[in-house]
């Protein structure tokens, strides 16, 4: 079994450029088959597979490398490969003719590989490594069209935001290792793992072995994990990279947003779930709820097709994180799965629309933005297949009955009400806000559908002479879309279309049986939400399609707030980017004047000292030697004068010396 897993990992890593598309698709097909196989064996079998081997040893610490396959990871494994397969097939058609076709599939394979490896990794070091790889390969994919300035900016942004999260993850891992002395996920988070035995007593975090450290470290670990999740799964306040990441090819957006990158955050949350305490889960719930609400309001007014979908993704991810926060662990992952399918579907159909619009633009030299929904309309007749799958996905996103979204979303909403019922008081705000977000979702996605598919085709209205010949594309487009659309319906997940508890995903993941079910809630909420959603859809239809349309005032504060994405991006730009820049400027100035000045001063001092030394050397030391030498020369010359070989002179000298002696003798 692990051998099979390793084989598909190796295959997924395959990097051939010429036939890269086929190779990658084949590889992902094989991994899908393997994943299904693994899934069938592990799922609900009350056991999990945990294989490991010693990787390296540091001191007394052994680090293992291995696989951990439990319900959570096989679910994600299946999800990732099943979503990646249609995206690969679609990508082969979508990227046809692109000069970097091979590079695209190489990156895509790397991305899938790192994601698949992330979900099966059994220790924190491996998780961190693949976490980084996922971030890195998404960086490559977002900036795939690296000649576009915007794409480069977007991938830089995504990368930096993800780095912030990586720091958090690293901090959390290090903290956990310091506390528990192991990287093994199973040992840490398993059924009777170390985390569940660790308790907080008197402000200290005590493990079962009796090692204790201040309780603040438990918070550090949780905040670190949360940072990582927020960066990967685009939670407030680190969500701004995701809309920008739309600069990548649309199929990449589908993969990143639907199945892999953003799922990594929720997956990590699922892995680390036992670590969080009650209070920390509440924080998670609040942040998730806030993100869901904020992103939904932003999505209301965006005009870029892909940005609407991006904010919709953020909103849905907010739902998932909130579900984790309220303890609806299974529902959260269930929503992750269903969302993966319908969001992938939405993105892929958006890809077709954008593709066709781009063609139209190139053909007729129109001055339109192929992603702007204001330039679309009436595509219902031109792209009938895309229209149908899009509507299905939108229904699933709204959570209409008979779709998968209905099951998962209502599961979250019901459980949030139950949770709020336990906590009471102000915590009712969370379900209320999530219901509002859910309503907003219904509105913005209907707005999208109506703007794109209903009404009249705007470019045609502006220039009547053009005759766009749109097609839904060949089988390579249709098969993935049909497959994903099929997956949006309830039977895939549950035979009972109205009860989320009977979905197999929820059954397999539920951690503990929850007690008395509030039956009233279970009927009222789905019915109420469905009715209100339908009302909202009708309202949106009235606004955007019917002839007597009423336009929203576009200058209110709320509109601006939403249109400018709550000013978060511009706040980051002003506060953080500019702040950093001016800080750098200030540091540069300090460097230049203070440090360089100090160094310059030092240099001058040294120079002066050196010249003094030089003078001393020259005139004192050398001078002494020179004097000595000169004296010697003078004496030598004087003495040499006597040795001139003339006998008479010698005699004279002798006499003179003798005389001198006598005179000396006489005088003394």
Q: Which is nearer to other proteins, 531 or 654 (CB)?
A: 654
- Measured from the CB atom, the residue of 577 and 656 that comes closer to other proteins is 656
Report how far apart, in Å, the C-alpha atoms of 618 and of each of 153, 611, 627 are. Answer: 62, 10, 12
DSSP state of 19: T
Q: Where are the beta strands (DSSP E) in 108-209?
A: 199-201, 204-206
Q: How far apart are CA 88 and CA 26, in angstroms?
A: 9
Query: Please, which residue, 199 or 653, has the CB nearer to other proteins?
Result: 653
Size of the chain in residues: 668
- The sign of the torsion formed by the CA atoms of 64, 69, 75, 81 equals positive
Q: How far is the CB of 644 from other proteins (least distance, A)?
A: 6
CB of 635 to other proteins, least distance (A): 18
Minimum gap (Å) between residue 668 Cβ and other proteins: 24
Shortest distance in whole angstroms from residue 638 CB to other proteins: 15
Q: How far is the CB of 653 from other proteins (least distance, A)?
A: 10
Give the strand pairing for 49-58 and 61-69.
antiparallel
**Residue carrying structure tokens 């300035």:** 149
* Residue with smaller CB distance to other proteins, 610 or 654: 654
> Do residues 137 and 264 lie in contact, with contact meaning Cβ atoms separated by under 8 Å?
no
Nearest Cα residue to 619 out of 309, 276, 611: 611
In the complex, the smallest distance separating the C-beta of residue 637 from other proteins, rounded to whole angstroms, is 14
Complex with other proteins: residue 556 or 643, whichever CB lies closer: 643
Cβ proximity of 236 and 265 under 8 Å? no
Q: How far is the CB of 606 from other proteins (least distance, A)?
A: 53
H/E stretch holding 460: helix 458-462
Q: How far is the CB of 634 from other proteins (least distance, A)?
A: 20
Specify the DSSP class assigned to residue 554. Answer: S
Rank residues 56 and 642 by Cβ distance to other proteins and give the closer one. 642
DSSP code per residue over 431-447: HHHHHHHHHHHHHHHHH
Tokens of 18: 């010429």
Report phi then psi at 69, rounded to 5: -120, 105
Comparing CB distances to other proteins, the nearer of 629 and 655 is: 655
Footprint of other proteins on this chain (CB under 8 A)?
A: 643-648, 650-652, 655
Identity of the residue, 57 or 637, whose beta carbon is nearer to other proteins in the bound complex: 637
Kindly tell me which of 56 and 649 has the beta carbon lying closer to other proteins: 649
Tokens linked to 584: 């750098």
- CB-based burial, 463-485: b 16+ in 10 Å, e otherwise: eeeeeeebebbeebbbebbbbbb
């Amino acid at each position: 079994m692990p051998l099979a897993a390793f084989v598909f990992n190796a295959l997924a890593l395959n990097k051939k450029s010429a036939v890269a598309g086929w190779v990658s698709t084949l590889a992902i097909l094989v991994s899908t088959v393997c994943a299904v196989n693994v899934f069938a064996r592990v799922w609900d079998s009350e056991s999990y597979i945990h294989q490991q081997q010693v990787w390296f040893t540091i001191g007394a610490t052994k680090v293992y490398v291995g696989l951990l396959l439990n319900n959570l990871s096989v679910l994600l494994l299946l999800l990732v490969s099943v979503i990646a397969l249609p995206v690969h097939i679609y990508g082969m058609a979508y990227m046809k003719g692109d000069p970097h076709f091979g590079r695209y599939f190489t990156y895509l394979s790397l991305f899938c590989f790192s994601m698949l490896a992330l979900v099966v990794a059994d220790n924190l070091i491996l998780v961190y490594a693949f976490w980084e790889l996922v971030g890195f390969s998404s960086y490559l994919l977002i900036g795939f069209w690296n000649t576009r300035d915007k794409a480069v900016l977007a991938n830089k942004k995504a990368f930096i935001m993800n780095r912030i999260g990586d720091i958090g993850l690293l901090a959390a891992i290090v903290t956990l290792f310091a506390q528990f002395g192991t990287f093994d996920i199973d040992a840490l988070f398993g059924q009777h793992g170390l985390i569940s035995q660790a308790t907080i007593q008197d402000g200290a975090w005590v493990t079962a072995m009796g090692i204790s450290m201040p309780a603040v470290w438990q918070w550090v670990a949780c905040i670190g994990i949360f940072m990582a999740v927020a960066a990967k799964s685009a939670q407030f306040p680190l969500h701004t990279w995701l809309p920008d990441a739309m600069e990548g090819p649309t199929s990449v957006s589908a993969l990143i947003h639907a199945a892999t990158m953003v799922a990594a955050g929720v997956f990590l949350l699922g892995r680390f779930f036992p670590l969080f305490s009650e209070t920390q889960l509440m924080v998670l719930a609040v942040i998730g709820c806030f993100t869901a609400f904020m992103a939904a309001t932003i999505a209301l007014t965006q005009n870029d097709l892909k940005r609407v979908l991006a904010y919709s993704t953020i909103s849905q991810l907010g739902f998932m994180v909130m579900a984790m926060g309220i303890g609806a662990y299974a529902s959260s992952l269930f929503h992750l799965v269903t969302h993966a399918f319908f969001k992938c579907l939405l993105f892929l159909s958006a890809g077709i629309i954008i593709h066709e619009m781009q063609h139209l633009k190139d053909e007729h030299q129109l001055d339109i933005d192929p992603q702007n929904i204001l330039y679309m309309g009436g595509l219902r007749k031109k792209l009938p297949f895309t229209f149908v799958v899009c509507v299905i996905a939108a229904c699933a996103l709204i959570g209409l009955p008979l779709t998968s979204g209905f099951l998962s979303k209502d599961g979250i909403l019901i459980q949030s009400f139950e949770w709020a019922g336990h906590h009471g008081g102000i915590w009712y705000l969370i379900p209320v806000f999530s219901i509002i977000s859910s309503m907003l979702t219904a509105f913005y996605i209907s707005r999208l559908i109506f703007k794109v598919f209903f009404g009249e085709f705007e470019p045609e209205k502006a220039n009547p002479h053009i005759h766009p010949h749109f097609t839904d594309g060949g089988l390579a487009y249709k098969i993935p879309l049909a497959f994903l659309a099929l997956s949006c319906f309830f039977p895939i997940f549950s035979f009972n279309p109205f009860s989320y508890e009977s979905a197999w995903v929820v059954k397999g993941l539920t951690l503990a049986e929850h007690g008395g079910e509030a039956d009233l809630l279970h009927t009222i909420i789905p019915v109420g939400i469905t009715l209100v959603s339908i009302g909202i859809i009708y309202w949106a239809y009235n606004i955007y399609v019917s002839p007597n349309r009423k336009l929203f005032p576009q200058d209110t504060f709320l509109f601006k707030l939403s249109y400018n994405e709550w000013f978060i991006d511009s706040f980051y730009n002003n506060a953080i980017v500019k702040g950093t820049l001016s800080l750098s400027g200030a540091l540069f100035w300090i460097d230049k004047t203070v440090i360089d000045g100090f160094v310059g001063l030092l240099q001058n001092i040294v120079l002066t000292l050196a010249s003094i030394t030089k003078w001393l050397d020259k005139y004192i030391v050398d001078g002494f030697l020179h004097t000595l030498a000169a004296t010697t020369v003078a004496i030598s010359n004087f003495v040499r004068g006597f040795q001139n070989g003339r006998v008479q002179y010698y005699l004279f000298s002798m006499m003179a010396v003798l005389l001198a002696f006598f005179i000396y003798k006489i005088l003394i």
